[in-house]
Structure 1
Amino acid sequence: MKRKLTIEDLSRLVSVTQPTLAPNQQEAVFVQTKIDEKENTYQANLWHVDLASKKVTQWTHGKEKVSSPLYSQDGTELAYLSTREDINQLYVVPTNGGEARKVTSLEKGVASFLWSPCGKKIWFVASLKEGKLFTDDPEKEENKKPEPYIVDKMKYKMDGTGLLPQDTYKHIGVINTQTGEVTQFTEGNYSYALHAISQDGTKIVFSVNRSENQDFEFRQPLYLVDVESKQETTIIEEDGNFGGAAFSFDDAKLAFVGSEGTYKNATHTELYVYDIESGSREVLTEGIDAPVGDYVVADHQQGSNAPSVVWTKDNHLYFQVSTMGDVRLYAASLEGEMYPATGDDEHIYGYDVAKSGEFALVTISNPTKVGELYLHTIATGERQALTSFNASFENEVELIPAQAIVYKGAKEWDVHGWLMKPTGYVEGQKYPLIVEIHGGPHAMYANTFFHELQLLTAQGYGVLYVNPRGSHGYSQQFVDAVRDDYGGGDYEDIMAGLDFVLSENTWIDESRLGVTGGSYGGFMTNWIVGHTNRFKAAVTLRSISNWVSFFGVSDIGYYFSDWQIGADMTDVEKLWDHSPLKYAKNIETPLLIMHSEKDFRCPIEQAEQLYITLKQMKKETGFVRFPDSDHNLSRTGYPNLRYARLKQITDWFDKYL
């Protein structure tokens, strides 16, 4: 008989990510990540798989985090990033065996890299101070005195980073892997991103915004650059996000992904193809009313970083599409033919595709499968498992399937979601139900493994989680519908989902309902308890309570508020009308407030205001602060704090439900 899942099972889970095929197409590498409880951190190591024998071998064994493995074009060497010496530096290892050697010692480390086709040079991106060439002489921090931080722009801080380094810019450089000689390629007080190198090594694609004042610049134009002359050709410069470029095998075309600024950050991401000779550009995915890419929210996969697009030699392109709660691998031809290359009810969170287009390496998860690496034959859909790191956990622990539901929300629109029964469910008994609300709001719940949801079922709760309007994976109209309507149709969608499952499932005890969510889900939790007393307990995490103060304190507040609420400080009344704090006097639901001390996205003052207001009003509330943690505590935070967070949630619901 299988046992119930526990909080501590987080340490049993293994992430399998970043599958990367070798040039010979007969072997591959991937990254395996797991919690190191002793060090209270994560270990990410490099593994190798022989596709013929299916033999899997560990290649690195350190306590560092390895990421971004990439073979040289001839397959004789593999480069990767590693935090072996605290900060990400570039390492190269011979693929026929031998020790890895460190090839960079840059002060701020390496952000990203690409092999030059010659196999003797690597292009990389790293941060450096204004006017300072790349250096091998890191500044000593011990004796540095505190200095004032002079703010002269609006984008001066970032969640996960804190205050941005002043007079520091990301630049592109080239390192000779044999001699160690470093050459700086880009110049000026601008930040560059490197996206692609042509097959013949004569051209690169980078993005840069050279506007003097970037406070209201939300674009990063893409350029095609001649390596020899440095002459630039503009590929796209509209407002929006563009990147993930890849050259076709004949260097005639360039594919990239991006979203224009039409619906601000709610705009669907599309796949573009640029003809290098003519300079013409087309949108290949116009016929799909769903976004290209992976928009799933969950709490397990570490370092999941899939390519934006992969070419085959016959000029087919492969890419992810988030649709109807799935992330599927799609294929497209240059003529516009398009079809899914994988099936329904799963989350393809990583992939690489053979040059021939015959097979793909895919990492796959679903609600009862943590995630493993598979060899997927594209023509037939046949699969072979290449890893089984989570098999013993899955065989030992009872994992609850998620039942897909569809119901009518606001405006009679279809809304999708899932219902999970409690572990050990017995027909005829009544059980409490917890409603979970995702962040974003432009993200989505999906057919993927979610430890927190499984934990709640193990604690004896049913779990309802839905994708209300504003969620990705559906139409452009649907994802845009939440903007300027926070607390309107989205609130109706969630409550309609609750009414639907109550009408269809007699096992749910309507007198014992809980609600929780983080970020936008935290905002919505706050909003719900201020507008209904149906819930007996609520937990709000990394939430927004006051749009007026959020405008000035969040790293994105001054533009996000306008994009999402449709108001700035010239319309304080509208910001306040959409603020849960305004309705605090209505809250009768016991509310636990949880927040990270170093959250720059939704700063902790949002929690402080709500807590003190509720305490002053003699409401039932609690407040838990997490030190040294940012907005991503539930996904990538210190393991002990992730355990503590889950215990606080389950204890609160246990007390009131």
Structure 2
Amino acid sequence: MRKLTLDDFKNYKFLSGIEHSPDGRHVGFVVHEADMEENKYRSNLYLAEVATRKIRKLTTFDKESSFKWQDDEHLVFATIRDPKDKEAAESHKEFTQLYRINIHGGEADKYLRLKKSLGSFDFLAGGDVLATCAFDLNAKDQLNLSETELSDELKRLKEEEDYEVLEEIPFWSNGGGFTSKKRSRLCRFDAQGTFQGYLTGEYTNVESVKLNEEKNKAVLVSSTFQDKEELLNELSYFDGETVRVLDTPGLTISFADFLDKDTLIFTATDMKKLGLNENGKFYTYDLLTDTLALITPDLDQSLYNSVGSDARYGGSKTRVVDGGELYFTTTLGTNAELWKVNREGVLRPVITEEGSVDGVSVKNGHVAYIAMKNTTLQELYFLEAPALPVSSFNTWVQEEIQLSLPEPLKLTLDDGTVIDGFVLKPVDYTEGKTWPVLLEIHGGPKTVYGSVFYHELQLFAAQGYYVVFCNPRGSDGKGNDFSDIRGKYGTIDYEDLMNFTDLALFTYPDMDLSNLFVTGGSYGGFMTNWIIGHTNRFKAAVSQRSISNWISMFNTTDIGYYFADDQNASSPWDNHAKMWWHSPLKYADQVVTPTLFIHSEEDYRCWLTEGLQMFTALKYHNVESRLCLFKGENHELSRSGKPKHRQRRLEEISGWFARYRTLKTADE
């Protein structure tokens, strides 16, 4: 077997979009893979037959990243294949071209051309299309324009590419670009693709839409705002003709579906106790009586998958209703499990294996899911034989590559709180010498490290490092109190990380105390910046997509105006001193650790100014530092960035640590 190489990720297969056919006989899903030559990802549709467990590829055009079942035998997806369509899209002309493919064979054909740019879509019972469509309050609606007017508008939009006018916050979103006065509206098309009208107002932004089992009604999660978007949003009901907002005051809703034809189930939080990171609870809404009910008042459990990995691409459903119960993923400890809840609020586990359930579909009791188990990459599984994957896209990794198995390590605090973590030994570990140590810090902060496959961590183990990673206070998986570090950033979480590092050094005596390195991204980037300003124990650091100044982060990033004040329990106006105290930039004059900064030009979550400020401060104080800026990338560089950019990022980190790393034998 060989060691993992930096660019092995180009051969991984990433699974997403899992969904049963209406009759439950087939499961459709998407397989993505990196194309290094074209510097992009190829995506195609696949089909698994439930009865035989056989898998076959449906498309070969490499552009099908999502789909909808139209009926038992047809999948429909939006894509641009025709060069004329590509030219029209580049001219700012609004349209969506749908293709349809029969699961029994043949290539996809052009199906419907809709004169709006769609986000999501689904088919109503009569064949009409219910969809979310892009709507720009600063542009003319192209639906109502004559050919001459449309030509003039397209010319104007082309000229406007050099300008952005901002009139509200947030004014941009990570991965979505500038968003000021742009909305996603619910609209309807007939079965021939003719626009029938908007169903929501011009200032309403539709976040999600879910049809009922009969496909004649829908539930919406949306927010309506001008000037400033608030955290509280709306639950709405589409009765087949019109949309009405339901009475759910004071809630932030993250998901909604039909539990039965007259009952909605949704997840929400009022944020009153623990702010925006407070775990949600389950609610029902009776459409006949307009009655809202909290069915899990005592629940303190994560309601989503927060297990981190850089070996995923694309998205999947993680909550689905079947048989009057809602199946959902939940993070418990270091694993993402599958549970279900009924209308009485009774919760039961469904899949509790070590690893991460990344996507799920349930139909007539049959559970299909995408998962990463232990150190394996994603595969398709059916619940009736969970130990046997249906697919084998990534089995070559275990067959060809020598991996380091995560060894659990637990730090117990004085009050009994347990900090979970892991250690990867160097792949070529032998006794008789000491080994350099890399501390990796996750983002969030409300995410977790688990035992699942992580390319970056395995890479450094292959390069001869002990890799140490843990879930300090602020992480997910252990309830609200554990994850609540509002106003405490850089205090108890910093202590947990340093104490866990000390525990690892004590537990593994051949770790080289004089050869410590540290890196992290997002919250992990903040913490890397914080660490180098508070200790000199690390020989080199890599700070990625970081926060350095809470005051500038508040006023420039897509989430800053509500995240920064919530997490710091202060704002630039009511407690400027506290925000500055928690800012790593305040302590930059104390840094001596050589530091590489990695940032993306279009990272609007932790904007470029955060990395630039810290880099400038270190240069000003004569600290060895370097900044690598990735053009055209955003906050997701390490997870879904262009393949060549992901490779360059790993080259930068590896090269920076190698510059300062020294190798020793045990008797030196």
Asked if TM exceeds 0.5, the reply is yes
Which residue number in structure 1 is paired with residue 559 of structure 2?
556
Residue of structure 2 in register with 1:438 after alignment: 442
Residue in 2 aligned with 1:14?
13
Residue 189 of structure 2 is aligned to residue 175 of structure 1 = yes
Query: CA offset at residue 421 of structure 1?
Result: 0.7
One-letter identity of the residue aligned with 2:68? L
1:529 aligns with 2:529: no
Pairing partner for 2:286 from 255, 275, 299: 275
**Deviation at 1:465?**
0.9
Looking at structure 1, the residues matched to 173 and 243 of structure 2 have their Cα atoms a distance apart, in angstroms, of: 33
Checking the alignment, whether the CA contact within 8 Å between 1:320 and 1:327 is kept in structure 2 is: yes
Q: What secondary structure does 1:499 align onto?
A: helix
In the alignment, what sits opposite 1:27? 26
2:614 aligned partner, one-letter code: L
The equivalent position to 2:317 in structure 1, one of 306, 313, 316, is: 306
State the AA in 2 paired with 1:259: T
- Taking the aligned partners of 2:6 and 2:80, their CA distance within structure 1 comes to 28
2:244 equivalent in structure 1: 232
Query: Which range moves more in the overlay, 547-556 or 256-265?
Result: 256-265
Residue 145 of structure 1 and its aligned partner are, at CA, apart by: 2.0
Contact 1:376 1:384 (8 Å CA) reproduced: no
Distance between the aligned counterparts of 2:156 and 2:263, measured in 1? 50
Indicate how the Cα distance of structure 1 residues 608 and 167 shifts in structure 2: closer, same or farther if over 3 A, else same: closer
Cα distance change of structure 1 residues 602 and 211 upon mapping to structure 2, 3 Å threshold: closer
| Closer, same or farther: CA 112–611 of 1 in aligned 2, 3 Å | same
Q: Which residue of 2 aligns with 1:487?
A: 490
* Superposition pairs of residues 193-592 of structure 1, within 5 angstroms: 193-215=207-229, 217-228=230-241, 230=242, 232=244, 234=246, 236-243=248-255, 245-248=256-259, 250-262=260-272, 263-312=274-323, 315-355=324-364, 357=365, 359-377=366-384, 382-409=386-413, 412-480=416-484, 482-570=485-573, 571-592=575-596
Greater shift, 607-616 or 515-524, is seen at: 607-616
Question: Which SS does the other structure have where 2:289 is aligned?
Answer: coil
Aligned partners of 1:374 and 1:386 also within 8 Å? yes
Q: Is the 8 A contact 2:221 2:253 kept in 1?
A: no
* Letter of the 1:541 counterpart: Q
- Is the contact between residue 424 and residue 461 of structure 2 (CA under 8 Å) also seen in structure 1? yes
Flag structure 1 segments of 5+ consecutive residues without an equivalent: none
Does residue 77 (structure 1) correspond to residue 74 (structure 2)? The answer is yes
TM superposition score normalised by structure 1: 0.92
2:47 aligned residue: 48
Query: Quick one: distance in 2 between partners of 1:621 and 1:410?
Result: 38
Contact 2:19-2:27 within 8 A present in 1 as well: yes
Residues 472 and 83 (structure 1), Cα distance of their counterparts in 2 relative to 1, 3 Å cut: farther
Distance 1:602 1:167, change over 3 A: closer
Say if 1:12 and 1:393, in contact at 8 Å, map to a contact too.
Answer: no
CA positional deviation for 1:133: 6.4
| C-alpha deviation, 1:497, in angstroms | 0.8
* Residues 272 and 135 (structure 1), Cα distance of their counterparts in 2 relative to 1, 3 Å cut: farther
Counterparts of 1:624 and 1:410, CA distance in 2 = 41
Q: Is the CA contact (8 Å cut-off) linking 1:271 and 1:284 kept in structure 2?
A: yes
Aligned to 1:154: 169
Please tell me the residue identity of whatever aligns with 2:368.
Answer: L
What is the deviation of 1:33?
Answer: 0.5
C-alpha distance in structure 2 between counterparts of 1:521 and 1:254, whole Å: 38
How far did 1:426 drift? 1.4
Deviation at 1:268, TM superposition (A): 0.6
Deviations 1:219-256 (A, max 9, x none): 2210123223x26251523242332x2223x4132222
Give the secondary-structure state (helix, strand or coil) at the position aligned to 1:457. Answer: helix
Which whole-Å CA distance do the structure 2 matches of 1:564 and 1:143 have between them? Answer: 39
1:600/1:55 CA distance change after superposition, 3 Å: same
Output the CA distance in 2 between the equivalents of 1:235 and 1:45: 41
Deviates more, 1:79-88 or 1:155-164: 79-88
Is 1:64 aligned to residue 78 of structure 2? no
Greater alpha carbon shift after TM alignment, 557-566 vs 91-100: 91-100
Cα deviation code 1:514-536 (max 9, x no counterpart): 11001110010010111111111
CA distance in 1, matches of 2:494, 2:416: 14
1:375-433 per-residue CA deviation (whole Å, 9 max, x = no partner) reads: 112xxx65432110111232111121111222124755211111111111113432111
| Change in CA separation of 1:89 and 1:302 when aligned onto 2, cut-off 3 Å | farther
Change (3 A) 1:618 1:212: closer
Distance across 2 between alignment mates of 1:40 and 1:273: 46
3-state SS of 1:385 partner: coil
Cα deviation, residue 291, structure 1: 0.9
Aligned residues: 639
The DSSP-based 3-state class of the residue aligned with 1:66 is coil
* 1:538 CA drift (Å): 0.7
Q: Which amino acid aligns with 2:132?
A: V
Greater Cα offset, 641-650 or 366-375: 366-375
Larger CA deviation: 146-155 vs 48-57: 146-155
Compared CA separation, residues 410 and 498, structure 1 to 2 (3 A): farther
The answer to whether 1:97 aligns with 2:110 is no
C-alpha deviation, 1:6, in angstroms:
0.8
Unmatched 5+ residue regions in structure 2?
A: 90-95, 662-668
Cα 1:472–1:81 shift into 2, 3 Å: farther
Shift, 1:446, TM fit: 2.2
**In structure 2, how many angstroms separate the alpha carbons of the residues matched to 1:405 and 1:271?**
33
Structure 1 residues 557-611: Cα deviation after superposition (integer angstroms, max 9, x where no partner): 2222101112212122111111111111211211111111121111112222211
CA distances 1:250-308 after superposition (whole Å, capped 9, x unpaired): 41322222333233321113333323323333344445422111122221210132242
Partner of residue 611 from structure 1, selected from 596, 609, 615? 615
Give the drift of 1:92. Answer: 2.7
Distance 1:40 1:108, change over 3 A: farther
Aligned residues of 2:335 and 2:356 also touching (Cα < 8 A): yes
Residues 233/522 of structure 1: CA separation in 2 closer, same or farther (3 Å cut): closer
Structure 1 residue aligned with 2:666? none
**1:187 positional shift:** 4.3
AA at the equivalent of 1:329:
L
Partners of 1:401 and 1:135 in 2: CA distance: 60
Residue 110 to residue 318, structure 1, CA distance change in 2 (3 Å): same
SS in 1 for 2:399: helix
Tell me the percent identity: 32
Q: Contact conserved, 1:362 with 1:374, CA < 8 A, in 2?
A: yes
Specify the code of the residue in structure 2 equivalent to 1:388. S
Distance 1:66 1:100 in 2: 14
User: Which amino acid counterpart does residue 527 of structure 1 have in structure 2?
Assistant: W
Match of 1:111, SS state, is strand
Conservation of the 8 A alpha-carbon contact between 1:171 and 1:187? yes
What is the aligned partner in structure 1 of residue 93 from structure 2?
none
Is structure 2 residue 627 aligned with structure 1 residue 623?
Answer: yes
Q: CA deviation at 1:318?
A: 1.2
Task: Give 2:270's aligned amino acid.
Answer: E
